[in-house]
Amino acid sequence: MSRSVRLGMFFPWEDAFLVCFVLILALPNTEAWSKEGHVMTCKIAQALLEPQAAEVVRNLLPDYSNGDLSALCTWPDQIRHWHKYQWTSSLHFIDTPDKACTYDYSRDCHDSHGLKGMCVAGAIQNFTTQLSHYKHGSSDRRYNMTEALLFLSHFMGDIHQPLHVGFTSDEGGNTVDLRWFKHKSNLHHVWDREIILTAAAELYGKDMDLLQKHIQKNLTHGTWSDDMSLWKDCDDLFACPNKYAAESINLACKWGYKDVSPGATLSDKYFNSRMPIVTKRIAQGGVRLSMILNRVLGNHNQDILVPA
């Protein structure tokens, strides 16, 4: 006799308790590029820091993080609805014209009131500039360098999530309701989280660290080791976020929106073809975040005097 049958026969309330518990665990998470995606991006980045930049990062992190950047990379999602941080809510994404599949900074990088620069690409420029003054001891006291580090680290993840540069009318896939295998989800959430969770569950025994180690292995000795220098390539730190955003809308059209209509059920075919895109974007976000931090906080010859 199985345990659940026995419980059901003698202690029906215990089954009810179990059902409630499972329902609570299954509540959908509606935040941006999931916790897991941000954590992996930041772990990859921190592992690639050169000694001087690594030290500055450790100094900027609060003690309770134990020097682990990834522990705080989701902070911008936690505070985005607080009154004090309402100004940050448009900094997580870019809305581009429906079906255009292109991104143009002057056309698309603004908040819902049309305020220029208030999008994820503008935010990366902003916090890169703020951090670049830190090393020279010229940082503006209005700005909190710890917050600048956390915002930059988070937004470098977001700009690489293809659906964070999506169509305007469907809010980057948020209003495209569908099923992911058997449960209800939406297209944005599939790219933020479902693909990552399914990959961990199906391929890595639910071990997120193991998934991350495989991504890292592909970077250092695998499929992407030749691509790393190409990904890091950036002549002008101020212009590069626009390149990353353009890549994302291109991937959103080619893989995200492709063959998806509202009400669809996405399963193996979609998962198998999109999973490699998701892991690659996480890797790219991490590599490029380390590139920026090494340049603005490390001991490179400075070629980065970006506009304030």
Ligand X SMILES: *[C@@H]1O[C@H](CO)[C@@H](O)[C@H](O)[C@H]1NC(C)=O
Q: Which two tokens stand for residue 279?
A: 């892991």
Looking at the DSSP bridge assignments, the partners of residue 94 are 165
Q: Residue 55 or 227: which CB sits closer to ligand X?
A: 227
Residue 291 binding ligand X, by CB under 6 A: no
Residue 123 binding ligand X, by CB under 6 A: yes
Residue 146 binding ligand X, by CB under 6 A: yes
Q: Which stretch binds ligand X (CB under 6 A): 38-46, 189-197, 215-223, 252-260?
A: 215-223
x/- map, 175-194, ligand X, by CB under 6 A:
--------------------
Q: Residue 136 or 142: which CB sits closer to ligand X?
A: 142
Q: Which stretch binds ligand X (CB under 6 A): 27-35, 97-105, 116-124, 170-178?
A: 116-124
Residue 111 binding ligand X, by CB under 6 A: no
Residue 223 binding ligand X, by CB under 6 A: yes
Alpha carbon of residue 79 to chain centroid: 16
x/- map, 242-281, ligand X, by CB under 6 A:
----------------------------------x--x--
Residue 91 binding ligand X, by CB under 6 A: yes
User: Under rule CB under 6 A, how many of the chain's residues touch ligand X?
Assistant: 19
Nearest-approach distance from CB 31 to ligand X, in angstroms: 18
Question: Residue 135, class by beta-carbon neighbours within 10 Å (0-12 exposed, 13-18 middle, 19+ buried)?
Answer: middle
Question: Any idea which residue has 């469907």 for tokens?
Answer: 170
Alpha carbon of residue 190 to chain centroid: 13
Residue 139 binding ligand X, by CB under 6 A: no
Nearest-approach distance from CB 13 to ligand X, in angstroms: 43
Residues in the chain, how many?
308
Question: Any idea which residue has 């580090």 for tokens?
Answer: 149
Residue 218 binding ligand X, by CB under 6 A: yes
Among 144, 229, 272, 273, binds ligand X (CB under 6 A): 144
Contact assessment for residue 33 and residue 192, using Cβ atoms and an 8 Å cutoff: yes
Residue type, 21: F
Phi first, then psi: give them for residue 21, nearest 5 degrees. -60, -45
Question: Residue 73, class by beta-carbon neighbours within 10 Å (0-12 exposed, 13-18 middle, 19+ buried)?
Answer: buried
Among 163, 215, 245, 287, binds ligand X (CB under 6 A): 215
Dist. CA 144–CA 23, nearest whole Å: 40
Q: Residue 51 or 222: which CB sits closer to ligand X?
A: 222
Q: Which two tokens stand for residue 92?
A: 């997580």
Q: How many CB atoms lie within 10 A of CB 288?
A: 26
Nearest-approach distance from CB 181 to ligand X, in angstroms: 19
Residue type, 104: D
Dist. CA 305–CA 308, nearest whole Å: 9
Contact assessment for residue 191 and residue 111, using Cβ atoms and an 8 Å cutoff: no
Nearest-approach distance from CB 220 to ligand X, in angstroms: 11
| Residues at the interface with ligand X (CB under 6 A) | 87, 91, 117-118, 122-123, 126, 143-144, 146-147, 211, 214-215, 218, 222-223, 276, 279
